[in-house]
Amino acid sequence: MMSSRRVSSVVVLGSTGSIGMSTLSVMAQHSERFHVFALAANSDVDTMFSQCIAFNPRYAVLANEAAAEKLAARLHTSSVDCVVMGGAAALEFVSAHEEVDVVMAAIVGAAGLASTLGAARAGKRIMLANKESMVMAGPLLINTAQQSGAIILPIDSEHNAIFQALPADYSRDVQAAGIRRLILTASGGPFLHASAEALSSATPDQACAHPTWSMGRKISVDSATLMNKGLEVIEAHFLFGANADQIDVVIHPQSIVHSMVEYVDGSVIAQLGSPDMRTPIAHALAFPDRVDAGVTRLDLLSAGSLEFESPDMQRFPCLRLAYQALREGHSAPVYLNAANEVAVDRFLEQEIAFTAIAEVVETVLQQLPTVSVQSIDEIVEADRSARVCAKLASGELSGGQSTVQGSLH
């Protein structure tokens, strides 16, 4: 007997990245439930071409217009009937299209904000993997979704775990739900027990060699500095309504416990699973149903011991700076994110030391005044100001080992 379930039409923003490819992997297992309406990425023509052949989307978007032209030329000689579009506006077009049900927001960094906000305005179900959108524009994104009826489902394994551990009717009111704190777990990255000397001389390849997760280079560096966890603390604040004092971080190298919720009665509810992003992706795609994600089942007998420890905010000051930005509020999280993006890019280009990433971020937070940011224009201007400041700060630190952050030495 044929299922009467309506097929969901899905846009995958960031389809050529690790989250995007994992999303397509899950969708391919359930083609009777999910259809690829559009694929979107930055400039990877080869991967996008292969994805178009495999999934036959109606639209293929590359933000880089020159790359979009190359993709169009290649698809013209194929059997795929696909409209190719280029430029940032095209990302917003497919995200808000009337035929779209679900938007996977997996474009890394501030570049993903406009399309995510466009999907929220259009009332879509948003699978939010672009944490930077929530860090930069949390109140605006939440309010827009509430007004339009959009649903935001978190994809970060930590936030998805918290979402699963919360009451089904949770309404961003910690006290009403009897919650004492949210506990985000962190693997600790590749430098968890590295010496100060090793941190100051760390290379991009070393920083990107994550012991547990397979991720893109930017997020891998963020994991190595613990900035990724700091951004997740800010995202958790906006997603779940908890303040900075109600959000804790614990280091858990095995990445089996993805996060926990502690209630006032002493109960702690945790979500466990193999470290595979297809699990939270499948959860959000099918929510409130459950579907096979194609992941390796968790075997606790073979997993061995599960370890937990406190993060060292002296050796990894990016986490401390994220808490600082959250407590300051307003434009501070925007500054934090923008400065970090600039600094990580400079590090990956081998222009500044690994430890200089935190120095650049701290300099920006110190130098720029905190201001109110309520509109997208105000957010964009705060982001621009922070990038200018961060480029100046990183320029001063380039060419030598950083020395400003004395607590690291």
Structural domains of the chain in order of their starting residue, each with its CATH number: 8-154 (3.40.50.720), 157-274+299-318 (no CATH), 329-400 (1.10.1740.10)
Secondary-structure breakdown of the chain: helix, strand, coil percentages, each rounded to the nearest 5? 50, 15, 35
Residue carrying the six token digits 């992941």: 295
Q: What per-residue confidence (pLDDT) applies to 409?
A: 27
Q: Which distant-in-sequence residues (6+ apart) come within 8 Å of 245 by Cβ?
A: none
DSSP reduced 3-state for 266: coil
DSSP reduced 3-state for 366: helix
Q: What per-residue confidence (pLDDT) applies to 53?
A: 96
Q: What per-residue confidence (pLDDT) applies to 306?
A: 94
DSSP reduced 3-state for 153: strand
Per-residue pLDDT of the chain in tens (409 residues, 90 and over written 9): 334 467 999 999 999 999 999 999 999 999 999 999 999 999 999 999 999 999 999 999 999 999 999 999 999 988 889 999 999 999 999 999 999 999 999 998 888 899 999 999 999 999 999 988 999 999 999 999 999 999 999 999 999 999 999 999 999 999 999 999 999 999 998 999 899 889 999 999 999 987 766 677 888 999 999 999 999 999 999 999 999 999 999 999 999 999 999 999 999 999 999 999 999 999 999 999 999 999 999 999 988 899 999 999 999 999 999 999 999 999 999 999 999 999 999 999 999 999 999 999 999 999 999 999 999 999 999 999 999 999 999 988 875 444 333 333 2
Q: What per-residue confidence (pLDDT) applies to 318?
A: 97
Query: Do 408 and 200 touch, CB atoms closer than 8 A?
Result: yes
Laid out side by side, the sheet with 247-251 consists of 247-251, 179-186, 257-263, 268-272
Angle between helices 227-240 and 217-225 (to 10 degrees): 90
Q: What beta strand segments (E) does 268-407 contain?
A: 268-272
Q: Residue 54 — left, alpha, or beta (φ > 0 → left; ψ -120 to 50 → alpha)?
A: alpha
- pTM for the complete prediction? 0.91
Closest CA to 299 of 251, 269, 254: 254
312: exposed, middle or buried (Cβ count in 10 Å: 0-12, 13-18, 19+): middle
Pull the structure tokens for residue 348: 């990956």
Q: Which residues pair with 250 in a beta bridge?
A: 185
Q: Strands 257-263 and 179-186: what pairing?
A: antiparallel
Q: What per-residue confidence (pLDDT) applies to 109?
A: 81
DSSP reduced 3-state for 262: strand
Q: Dump pLDDT digits (tens) for 283-294.
A: 999 999 999 999
What single-letter DSSP state applies at residue 180?
E
Closest CA to 320 of 233, 224, 387: 233
Query: Do 118 and 26 touch, CB atoms closer than 8 A?
Result: no
d(CA 384, CA 391): 11
